[in-house]
Structure 1
């Protein structure tokens, strides 16, 4: 995130009214700047404000359904390696949420979210974190079930991974597990080393991939 310029946001949505609404909504937050909007990924990539290889943006908001009834997972996959992607959608279907995360999204926000949730999501994703609308956390947690052949984690590491994948902080995870935050920090460090992942978005995708059981 560029400290001198705040958080630079691009947005892709096939409805001009929605794009205008996003600009007006985020104008309330001085640290967030919508620098370009577009109705297609190609138009965003061609925008001078996006910069070469999207280096002019800190976050891209992407509508999950762009003028078709097929989710724009290919758009997420294309953009995510170059810039953090925050998916926004009216859909709360579990398969849409999980598919977007697996495609590389760093967050999923429902379009009926309040302005402060939009701001919190953008700030979190821009800083390398992962964000889910609060009503979706339990849904994603419910997906994390079953076994896997991926690197083995201890039961407590699996539990910590499950809570973190549901959007909880290390401190919140510690309270739910009945341990100290330092202990959770240690669990997460071990998980990252074993699974060879970095930030929270990667941890969440690893959890979905493993289909490991979260804490009860």
Structure 2
């Protein structure tokens, strides 16, 4: 029997999912949570095999709950079940430790199949999630080679430092800082600081 907790802030949605899964043998919804922290608490007390986790809930984000469950209860797998499919949401969830990413328009039989696969240790991904992860891998493979000093300057810029503050920390003149930033912009194919930081984060060049 696969024991599941449903985490979603909408009671009607939780009941709908529970009803869908109750039609399939070997799947048992043992608990329901309306927030991320509540889901983490239920996992600690019920020790389920799997959590179906919404992403955005008042009182506690699903990504943070996923991260906590992955760290504190590695025997419980988390599969995101949400309406959101932006690359940022998908990547945040997977990087937090989610074993899968599904959308709420999934067919009941596909949801049951995905639950069984995830509980067996497989990764289950909606098409959009798989595409986002593939794009991230390909992006990292083709990431431009910034020098250590260019990365350091860009990292300080990402922290909101001015050129003067960056120069003071690295013992560089402002003109030199601008040169490093310009080189980084060129390599990243962008024309300003904000775009450079965003692109470097997307490529995994900055934490």
Identify whether the pair has TM-score above 0.5, normalized to the shorter chain. Answer: yes
Q: State the partner residue of 1:61.
A: 52
- Structure 2: distance between partners of 1:129 and 1:10: 18
Determine if the alignment matches structure 1 residue 142 to structure 2 residue 132.
no
- Structure 2: distance between partners of 1:51 and 1:79: 9
- Structure 1: distance between partners of 2:88 and 2:40: 28
CA-atom RMSD in angstroms: 2.6
1:35 partner SS: strand
Give yes or no for contact 1:12–1:40 (8 Å, CA) kept in 2. yes
2:80 partner SS: strand
- 1:1-216 paired onto structure 2 within 5 Å: 6-47=1-42, 50=43, 52=45, 54-55=46-47, 57-67=48-58, 71-81=61-71, 82=73, 83-145=76-138, 146-147=140-141
- Structure 1: distance between partners of 2:40 and 2:52: 13
2:65 partner SS: helix
Q: State the partner residue of 1:193.
A: none
Please report the TM-score for the alignment, with normalisation by the length of structure 2: 0.61
- Structure 2: distance between partners of 1:12 and 1:138: 25
Listed as ranges, the gaps of 5+ residues in structure 2 are: 143-201
Which structure is higher in RCO with an 8 Å CA cutoff and minimum separation 6? Answer: 1
Runs of 4+ with >4 A deviation: none
Q: Which has the larger radius of gyration?
A: 2
- Structure 2: distance between partners of 1:35 and 1:140: 31
- Structure 2: distance between partners of 1:93 and 1:72: 15
2:118 partner SS: helix
